[in-house]
Amino acid sequence: MTYVITEPCIGTKDTSCVEVCPVDAIHPRPDEPEFEEVEQLYIDPEACIDCGACEPACPVQAIFPEDEVPDKWKDFIEKNRAYFQK
């Protein structure tokens, strides 16, 4: 299982979650070129160690364990995966 960033992050891109991630699984970081281009942040499902540090750090409550993503945001599970498959 991994954590997933969902709709409330769109347009917010607060990087509090990036700062607390112990394995650098959340991208793009503000110092990466695509940070300005994307509408939200994403969690790499291959790098995520399921520690949960990101969830309470998110000020807009956009991060959920994959099996707890609300039904209305289930498509964000694939959006997170797809971001890292490019």
Q: In this model, does residue 86 exceed pLDDT 90?
A: no
Alpha-carbon distance of 23 to 37, in angstroms, equals 23
Average the pLDDT over 16-42 and give the result.
Answer: 96
User: Is the entire prediction scored with pTM above 0.85?
Assistant: yes
CATH architecture of 3-83: 2-Layer Sandwich (3.30)
Cβ proximity of 26 and 41 under 8 Å: yes
Q: In this model, does residue 7 exceed pLDDT 90?
A: yes
Per-residue model confidence (pLDDT) at position 72: 98
- Per the DSSP assignment, residues forming a β-bridge with 5 are 63
What are the pLDDT digits (tens) for 34-84?
999 999 999 999 999 999 999 999 999 999 999 999 999 999 999 999 999
Per-residue model confidence (pLDDT) at position 51: 96
Residue that is written with structure tokens 């394995």 in the block: 23
